[in-house]
Amino acid sequence: MQLTGDRFTSVSAQYGNDLATLPEYPAEIRAPAGTLAGVSAFQVQLSDHDITTPGDAPNVLVAMNPAALKASLSVLEAGGTLIVNEDTFDDRNLAKAGYATSPLEDDSLRGYNLYRVPMTRITKEVCAVLGVKPRDADRSKNFFALGLISWMYTRPVQPTIDWISSRFRNNELVCTANTAAFKAGHAFGETAELFDFIYEIKPARLAPGTYTNISGNTALSWGLVAAGQLAKLPLFLGSYPITPASDILHELSKLKQFGVRTFQAEDEIAAAGSAVGAAYGGHIGLTTTSGPGVALKGETIGLAVSLELPMVVIDIQRGGPSTGLPTKTEQADLLMAMYGRHGESPLPIVAAYSSSQCFDAAIEAVRIAVKYRTPVMLLSDGYLANGTEPWKLPDLDSLPDISVSFATEPNHVNEDGVASFWPYLRDENLARPWAVPGTPGLMHRIGGIEKEDGTGNISYDPANHEFMVRMRAERIARIADDIPEVEVEGDLDADVLVIGWGSTWGAIGTACARVRAEGGKVANAHLTHLNPFARNLGEILRSFKTVLVPEMNLGQLSRLIRAEYLVDAQSISKIMGQPFTAAELAEHVRGALA
């Protein structure tokens, strides 16, 4: 279902529709087929105008078996179109899904436009003449469904046929079977005369340019590559595979021609250590992970804070704690990003808010890291990582110059006139010089034990320790002067402000737009920089009577806002492994207005 859903999305993107997707799949590699736990779903919203979410209530649901129907029926709009593979509704599959009787035979589906299609039988029939065994033909029924939906939504067929030929070119029988199934599904829609209508969704009015359909993890990977080019530095990724971050390692490993080096470490600790070593050697040190990996990397991140080296820690958040929900989304790592290290060890936090914006967030994280010589936490989540949307390729000349200069000369002269290199002399940004090991005359020592300001010598002096702690904190705080101010959308004179971070952006914006269309007055804002906050955030928060903070956690940003600005920020929490819908948030806004 992920494969066919992605194919339908790609064709729609080529057609020119705006779109957003929500893939959902089990954590188990081989989840029990036909059970609720084994359901794999792919939701996509298509439009001829700008959209930011995969939709609250789908108009059409394709259910390949009883378990898929039971797991997904609740989201289908009342009176929506329901297409089922009737061949799978036998006693065995009904029992697996927990049905006492077949929903196709009772009145439980009377509120929907139900279409019963014998997908498995027709697929086997068209494949039998090709010499495909029934069991192998059964695997092609998803392409029958794809053909049917392609007809229903007037999608061009040739791009999919060409893709099948390319994707399965090494197995001629599979290629032929999938092509036959896809054509049979499309022909069924044309000739069966079951359907009352088809959908025509015109291309969206997008700004001129070259577009591609991109996922969050791919956009983030490309953003890191672009950042390396803009900084004129090689990238090094030390990573241990973990869902849902592994795709970044996969993508970057294919881009060695851009000066990218990837290392699959034996564990999370080794991955973080290798990234610190790469930063010490003059590379942009990167490490990718999810929440459990951030916990394991904590000590090494603290070391990077002490070393004052540029490093980017990329956390693709998932449901926790522990192994939790590996394939589901959550925003529960914010406080760990903020405080999850030993001692006073502040670091900047940047959060992406859409799949395509992951590209810009990656560049911003690298920019801050190299300019201020600090590790940076870059937060995304499973919803952004796996979701896709059209993305206009940027004008390369519009991207920022984030190049840096390494130290090449001694920077201190003692009383005797002897020149030497001091690793902790700071510039106007309080950033220390970055000296590549082996540079003549720039021998120096850094490490985890507290260093003396300036010289970098080991120091146990209490006053020096407090000075260095405050200096590191001040360096991070000054970044607030170097980031954009928060922008408020909607009604500036409203009583209610909805503010969020990360992937809640799309649902918040859509929900507030709906309320305003109903005549309600509401404002909304979104945070990309979570440490430090933008300079004008406090002023904005205090100008509204009610502040709502939707988060996929138990209220982590709201805690930070309440502590920092003494504002009664009210948390709206959802911790179900799924993103907010706009309808849910609109209801909360209406309640606040009432």
Alpha-carbon dihedral sign for residues 364, 365, 369, 374: positive
Q: How far apart are CA 538 and CA 544, in angstroms?
A: 11
Amino acid in the structure at residue 184: A
Report the phi/psi class of residue 28: left, alpha or beta, with left for phi > 0 and alpha for psi in -120 to 50. beta
Mean pLDDT for 99-107 is: 94
Length of the chain equals: 594
Give the angle subtended at the CA of 172 by the CAs of 167 and 178, to the nearest 5°. Answer: 60
Question: Do 187 and 224 belong together in one domain?
Answer: no
Question: Do 154 and 239 belong together in one domain?
Answer: no
pLDDT in tens, 429-485: 999 999 999 999 999 989 999 999 999 999 999 999 999 999 999 999 999 999 999
- Could you say which DSSP state residue 325 is in? B
CATH number at residue 519: 3.40.50.920
> 473 in a domain, yes or no?
no
Question: Do 242 and 171 belong together in one domain?
Answer: no
CA distances from 87 to 71, 115, 121, 492 (A): 18, 12, 7, 56
> 471 in a domain, yes or no?
no
Mean pLDDT for 49-57 is: 94
Q: How far apart are CA 34 and CA 276, in angstroms?
A: 46
CA distances from 47 to 32, 153, 584 (A): 35, 11, 21
78, 47 Cβ separation under 8 angstroms = no
Question: Do 35 and 142 belong together in one domain?
Answer: yes
Domain limits for position 24: 2-191
DSSP 474-539: HHHHGGGGGSPPP-EEE-TT-SEEEEEEGGGHHHHHHHHHHHHHTT---EEEEESEEESPPTTHHH
**If you search the block for the tokens 């993103």, which residue do you land on?**
579
> 533 in a domain, yes or no?
yes
Paired tokens of 496: 């209610």
353: closest CA among 219, 501, 213? 501
Question: Do 125 and 37 belong together in one domain?
Answer: yes
Going by pLDDT thresholds of 50, 70 and 90, the confidence category of residue 347 is very high
> 197 in a domain, yes or no?
no
502: closest CA among 541, 538, 544, 553? 553
Mean pLDDT for 342-358 is: 97
So what's the pLDDT on residue 534? 98
Question: Do 242 and 284 belong together in one domain?
Answer: yes
**To the nearest whole number, what is the mean pLDDT of the chain?**
96
Question: Do 531 and 576 belong together in one domain?
Answer: yes
Domains held by the chain: number = 3
Q: State which of 374, 398, 422 marks the end of a domain.
A: 398
So what's the pLDDT on residue 198? 86
Going by pLDDT thresholds of 50, 70 and 90, the confidence category of residue 138 is very high
Give Cα 191 distance to the centre of its chain: 41
Question: Do 89 and 9 belong together in one domain?
Answer: yes
pLDDT in tens, 250-295: 999 999 999 999 999 999 999 999 999 999 999 999 999 999 999 9
Mean pLDDT for 216-241 is: 98
Question: Do 99 and 165 belong together in one domain?
Answer: yes
Mean pLDDT for 143-167 is: 96
Going by pLDDT thresholds of 50, 70 and 90, the confidence category of residue 32 is confident
Q: State which of 365, 380, 398 marks the end of a domain.
A: 398
CATH number at residue 65: 3.40.920.10
Going by pLDDT thresholds of 50, 70 and 90, the confidence category of residue 30 is confident
> 529 in a domain, yes or no?
yes
- Please list, residue by residue across 418-437, b when 16 or more beta carbons sit within 10 angstroms of its beta carbon and e when fewer do: eeebbbbebeeebbbbbbee
Q: How far apart are CA 333 and CA 560, in angstroms?
A: 13
> 354 in a domain, yes or no?
yes
Q: How far apart are CA 129 and CA 181, in angstroms?
A: 12
Q: 338 phi and psi, to 5 degrees?
A: -75, -45
Question: Do 140 and 267 belong together in one domain?
Answer: no
- Cα dihedral value 143, 144, 146, 148, nearest 10: 170
pLDDT in tens, 283-333: 999 999 999 999 999 999 999 999 999 999 999 999 999 999 999 999 999
Which residues on neighbouring strands pair with residue 304, listed in sequence order?
A: none
Give the angle subtended at the CA of 277 by the CAs of 274 and 279, to the nearest 5°. Answer: 115
Q: Could you write out the three-class secondary structure of 258-319?
A: HCEEEEECCCHHHHHHHHHHHHHCCCEEEEEECHHHHHHHHHHHHHHHHHCCCEEEEEEECE
Paired tokens of 436: 């590549």
So what's the pLDDT on residue 466? 98
SS3 content of the chain, % helix, strand, coil (to 5): 40, 20, 40
> 496 in a domain, yes or no?
yes
| pLDDT over threshold 90, residue 78 | yes
| pLDDT over threshold 90, residue 194 | no
What pTM value is reported for the model? 0.95
Q: State which of 398, 419, 438 marks the end of a domain.
A: 398
479, 445 Cβ separation under 8 angstroms = no
Question: Do 155 and 55 belong together in one domain?
Answer: yes
Q: How far apart are the first and last CA of the chain?
A: 42
Question: Do 164 and 302 belong together in one domain?
Answer: no
> 403 in a domain, yes or no?
no
219: closest CA among 353, 342, 85? 353
| pLDDT over threshold 90, residue 33 | no
Mean pLDDT for 538-543 is: 98
